[in-house]
């Protein structure tokens, strides 16, 4: 319910029309019951703009279906504890790399996620955060060597593409002389020394990691680009304590 409420706020702020969740009626007897699903929609403020495509045919029609934005005939009617229909659907679409469905799926039970959440709280003045903050904790390598900022570095193309969606919020960093990941700077770099160190770390994950010098670009949300020639940091000089 809390996550849907945050998603609803984000939806209105960014002018989206509806929310999609992966809930299945009866899959989790304590939270995903047919009688509690309308409560989540109501309490989150999302009302009939909350769509559950996997169970849509066994739930009342939502506004996107009534308006014809979605074709109800192409949605599903999954119910119950078994995940076999979802797994068959994933296979049909060619998805093979996904988390095991066994056990609890709450992100707070994921040790790595929890460490990132604690780090975020410890390095902010309060616990005020947005849905974007929560989403970014699930993506990329998170590296912090200063309380003022952390680096979020994409690990593969999908994460790089995802991080592109946040270029209006953060300064982004990328290598222009070699192939490499996209990185975001969450926070403010206050010294030339910290900037050079941050760029050297990000450069380490590029194809130029063994070069004497690579060219790194910092691009601001308003598209101001500054380039720097940087020697990538040695692998042994990356302190494990920096890795969140």
Task: Judge whether 97 and 77 are in contact, CB under 8 Å.
Answer: no
Which position has the higher pLDDT, 85 or 215? 215
Q: What's the whole-model pTM score? A: 0.56
Whole-number pLDDT of residue 143: 95
Q: Strand 149-153 relative to strand 225-230: parallel, antiparallel, unpaired?
A: unpaired
Burial class (CB in 10 A: 0-12, 13-18, 19+), 141: middle
Query: Would you place residue 125 in the very low, low, confident or very high pLDDT band (cuts 50, 70, 90)?
Result: low
Q: Give the separation between CA 165 and CA 222, rounded to whole angstroms.
A: 14
> pLDDT digits over 153-209, tens only?
999 888 898 898 888 889 999 999 999 999 999 999 999 999 999 999 999 999 999
Q: What are the CA-CA distances from residue 233 to residues 32, 171, 199 (Å)?
A: 48, 21, 9
Instruction: Report the chain's mean pLDDT, rounded to a whole number.
Output: 82
Q: Is the pLDDT assigned to residue 49 strictly greater than 60?
A: yes
Q: Strand 149-153 relative to strand 214-219: parallel, antiparallel, unpaired?
A: unpaired
Query: Would you place residue 30 in the very low, low, confident or very high pLDDT band (cuts 50, 70, 90)?
Result: very low
Whole-number pLDDT of residue 88: 87
Q: Give the separation between CA 52 and CA 18, rounded to whole angstroms.
A: 11
> pLDDT digits over 51-87, tens only?
889 988 988 898 999 999 999 999 998 887 777 888 8
Q: Is the pLDDT assigned to residue 8 strictly greater than 60?
A: yes
Which position has the higher pLDDT, 3 or 139? 139
Task: Judge whether 41 and 1 are in contact, CB under 8 Å.
Answer: no
Q: What is the largest CA-CA distance in the chain?
A: 63
How far does CA 48 lie from the centroid of its chain?
Answer: 25
Neighbours of 220 (CB within 10 A): 12
């Amino acid at each position: 319910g809390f996550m849907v409420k945050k998603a609803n706020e984000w939806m209105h702020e960014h002018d989206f029309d509806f929310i999609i969740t992966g809930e299945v009626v009866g899959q989790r007897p304590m939270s995903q019951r047919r009688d509690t699903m309308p409560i989540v929609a109501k309490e989150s403020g999302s009302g009939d703009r909350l769509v559950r495509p996997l169970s849509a045919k066994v739930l009342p029609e939502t506004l996107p279906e009534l308006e014809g934005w979605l074709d109800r005939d192409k949605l599903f009617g999954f119910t119950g504890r078994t995940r076999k229909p979802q797994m068959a659907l994933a296979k049909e679409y060619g998805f093979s790399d996904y988390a095991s469905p066994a056990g609890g799926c709450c992100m707070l039970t994921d040790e790595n996620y929890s460490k990132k959440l604690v780090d975020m709280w410890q390095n902010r003045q309060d616990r005020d955060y947005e849905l974007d903050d929560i989403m970014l904790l699930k993506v990329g390598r998170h590296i912090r060597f200063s309380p003022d900022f952390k680096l979020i570095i994409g690990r593969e193309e999908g994460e790089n593409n995802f991080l592109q969606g946040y270029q209006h919020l953060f300064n982004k960093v990328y290598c222009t002389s070699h192939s490499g990941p996209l990185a975001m700077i969450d926070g403010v770099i206050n010294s030339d020394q910290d900037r050079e160190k941050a760029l050297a770390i990000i450069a380490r994950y590029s194809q130029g990691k063994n070069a004497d010098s690579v060219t790194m670009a910092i691009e601001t949300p308003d598209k101001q680009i500054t380039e720097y020639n940087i020697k990538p940091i040695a692998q042994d000089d990356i302190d494990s304590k920096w890795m969140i």
